A and B are shown apart, each in its own frame.
Chain A
Amino acid sequence: MHICFMYSKELLKGTLKTIVLKLLSENEKMYGYEITQRVKALSDGKILLTEGALYPTLHKLESEGLLVTETVSIGKRIRKYYSLTNEGVSTAEAKVNEFADFMLTMRTLLSPNLSLS
């Protein structure tokens, strides 16, 4: 159940919720396949979400009340769209801020100057 292409799954495991919430905060509603394609495009193909990682994450977020779904019939197929609840909007913001802060910390922590001193 790996997410990735270029990065290890350990590295990406904690970021999937953030990625999904952020994408949905910028798009009113998205379906699963659309999310995988968008992430692939935005990351220049460096992050490929697998179904085995994406869908459980979507369902967890839904069960936590952060996402709601609506289904649309497309011929014989049923497409399930996800969108953020009010709680999801605030969680998305909090998660993105937290991760931005985390990245700054990591950059400081891993900068070459620090290891020399």
Chain B
Amino acid sequence: MINLSERQIDYIATDIHRKGLNHNRISTEILDHICCSVEFRMEEGSDFDHAYEMVIRSFGEKGLPELNKVTRQIWSKKNRLKRFSFYFSSIAACLLLLVIVVNAKEKPSVRPFNTDSYELLEKSGNNLLFKIEKGTEIVSVASGIVLEVSKRGKDTGYEVTITHNKDYQTVYSFISDPKVEEGEHISKGQPIGALLGTPHQKESILHYKIINDPGPKDNDEK
């Protein structure tokens, strides 16, 4: 069994590099391949020089530089793909973050009025009852479209429903003098109307409701 000497291996390594095979993904591998082929020919009786010449000849005149080129193409394409998917995931991550931020901003963590003197009477799920001074201006907690302005009766005033990004709706009850119309685009903090008063009482009740994942319009009818 013939094993090439270190000097012979060095000679081949230098020669194939000189002939144009220098891509690190392929050069060491081809060096090993050529060494194997040379050893095989030497075992059949050739001397090193002749064996090496025959092996190099089998690659063809442009064989080595061509192999180098093809290897570079394969891996650069791969890199481009990698870079592309990196960009893509970065953009996706940014968008997700934006959605989260916007959502956080848009979700009604704010109160539907601009006064600090209120009392939260009751909170059951997404139903909130606030005790506030009557006539207080009621505002939309987020931007959206007015879905419905409905008269509930003489004593109960109007009920205003606003839809936000189709994700959720907010409902404001006991509103007098509504300032918005159905289908109107409104912005966050825009006045909807005033809180209906109860006779002989300074304070009144606002019923404020958040509906998550609302179904089609029809289902919102009570």
Contacts and interface: CB of A to CB of B under 8 A. Distances in A.
Main secondary structure of the interface of A (DSSP, over half): mixed
A71 to B, nearest CB: 8
Contact of B67 (A56, A60, A74, A75): A56
A51 B57 CA distance: 12
A4 B37 CA distance: 17
Nearest to B55: A51
Contact of A59 (B10, B31, B74): B74
B28 A63 contact: no
A51 B32 contact: no
Contacts of A55: 26, 29-30, 33, 67, 71
Interface residues of A, number: 20
Interface in B20-73: 25-26, 28-33, 35-37, 58-60, 63, 66-67, 70-71
Contacts of A78: 28-29, 31-32
Contacts of A56: 67, 70-71, 74
B32 A80 contact: yes
Q: What 5 A-B pairs have minimum CB-CB distances, sorted nearest first?
A: A33-B36, A63-B78, A78-B28, A56-B70, A80-B29
Contacts of B31: 77-78
A60 B63 CA distance: 18
Contacts of B75: 59, 63
Residue from A52, A71, A75, A77 with most neighbouring chain B CB atoms (10 Å) = A77
Interface string A36-76: 00000000000000111001100110010000000100111
Nearest to B82: A63
Contacts of B25: 59
A23 B132 CA distance: 81
B9 interface: yes
B116 interface: no
30 contacts: A1-B63, A1-B66, A31-B29, A32-B33, A50-B58, A51-B33, A51-B59, A51-B63, A51-B67, A52-B59, A52-B63, A52-B66, A52-B67, A55-B29, A55-B67, A59-B25, A59-B26, A59-B74, A59-B75, A60-B74, A63-B78, A74-B32, A75-B6, A75-B9, A77-B28, A77-B31, A77-B32, A78-B28, A79-B32, A80-B28
